Amino acid sequence: MTNHNQTLQLFSELLVASPSGREAALATIVRQKLTDLDIAHEQDGMGNVLVRLDGRSPQAPLIMLAAHMDEIGLVVTQINADGSLQVNRSGGLLPWKLGEGPVEILGDQESIVGVLSMGSTHTANAANQAITWADVRVLTGLSPEQLKAAGVRPGSTGVPTRERRGPVLFGDPADPLVAAWTFDDRMGVVALLRLLERMKQEGIRPYHPTLIAFTVSEEVGGHGAKSLALREQPEIFISIDGAPIPPGTPLELDGRPAIWSKDRLGHYDQPLLQALCQAALDAGTELQPVVYDSAASDASLVYYAGGAQRIACMGQVRANSHGYEVARLAVFDHMLDTLVQFVRSFEG
């Protein structure tokens, strides 16, 4: 099996519903993968999954590498008399990114399937209508009593059903693109699981004591990472996530990962950025630096909360962010190779 196939197979296995606050199903899979690799791990009270690695230099500052397990979704705000649901966003999801189609609503007792509905286009101003969450309903075909029995209530969350998620390979077979709903941030989870596997296979020990973290609730404020960092006190916190391409951003879907230099919360640690760029070069690839005005990561949220002194964020470049995202398939192996080289060599 090729590395690409390993990446997509593992990604597909992680495509359970995991909206913010409901990451338990994905955390269970992550923990089973770690058990299969015979890697000791733990889970804290918030639901973060942690792997502690001894460093070759026990006195070196603690490094944390983190990928978040939660995804954007929708949240039920009201159950109507006909059993339809009024909903709003959880995280950065906009209704036009979803379109009409089936969604899975996670009830306390069981999940149900409904269809996202934006009404009829047979109106005079339909062509000029801007859809907001106030225009959206989820049709369930169930009565309020049946929904109550399933544990569907205000606060229940939902995501697109599994068959809508992908992944889909397309384009040049020699260098394909891949699309899915969404890579954010299961591909970061894939990268860290594969990093741990490579470290075990190759006997790699980091110079620094290192915490590999699979965090919760990034999409709604980075709460899992902030709690974890404030408790563990890493000097360095590195998010493994992604990089959207808003207008004016000089990123390309060419297989090179991105490295964040600044986002809306501040500047990232520039010597750390340079060390990651050098690790990428040593691994046979290159990182694309980027500046964002309207984005944040677990790393910058941790930094803003005073949870780490030095931060970085690296990840796959992706189009259609917070939607049906598109990346160059090769970027995921390049992310992994960069991480392996960084963990193997970084002593700064």
Residue 112 domain flag: yes
Domain match, 252 and 307 both: yes
Radius of gyration of the chain measured on its C-alpha atoms: 20
pTM equals 0.95
List, for residues 233-262, the tens digit of each pLDDT value: 999 999 999 999 999 999 999 999 999 999
For the chain, the 3-state helix, strand and coil shares in percent, each to the nearest 5, are 30, 30, 40
List the domain range (segments joined by +) for residue 130: 73-161
Report residue 250 as tokens. Answer: 């000089």
Beta bridge partners of 103: 114, 160
Neighbouring residues of 5: CB distance < 8 A, sequence distance ≥ 6: none
Report residue 341 as tokens. Answer: 């080289």
Helix and strand tally (H, E) in the chain? 9, 18
Q: How many domains does the chain have?
A: 2
Mean of all residue pLDDT scores within the chain: 95
Domain match, 27 and 98 both: no
For residue 3, what pLDDT band results from cuts at 50, 70 and 90?
low
What's the rounded mean pLDDT across residues 23-34? Answer: 98
Nearest to 104 by CA among 31, 40, 15: 15
Report residue 66 as tokens. Answer: 């983190």
Report residue 286 as tokens. Answer: 């290159």
Compute the distance between CA of residue 94 and CA of residue 346 in angstroms, rounded to an integer.
39
Report residue 256 as tokens. Answer: 């090179």
Which residue carries 């960084």 as its tokens?
342
Last residue in a domain, options 129, 161, 193:
161
CATH of the domain at 18: 3.40.630.10
pLDDT beyond 50 at 1: no
pLDDT > 90: percent of the chain: 93
Phi/psi of residue 140, nearest 5 degrees:
-110, -25
Neighbouring residues of 25: CB distance < 8 A, sequence distance ≥ 6: 16, 17, 18
Residue 314 domain flag: yes
3-state class of 181 per DSSP? strand
CB 222 within 8 A of CB 213: no
Residue 176 domain flag: no
Torsion angle of C-alpha atoms 18, 22, 27, 29, degrees rounded to 10: -50
DSSP 286: -
Specify the pairing of strand 177-181 against strand 324-328. Answer: antiparallel
CATH of the domain at 113: 2.40.30.40
List, for residues 247-305, the tens digit of each pLDDT value: 999 999 999 999 999 999 999 999 999 999 999 999 999 999 999 999 999 999 999 99
Report residue 175 as tokens. Answer: 């260098």
pLDDT beyond 60 at 323: yes
pLDDT > 70: percent of the chain: 99
Residue 172 domain flag: no
Cα–Cα distances (Å) from 197 to 15, 202, 218, in that order, read 20, 9, 24
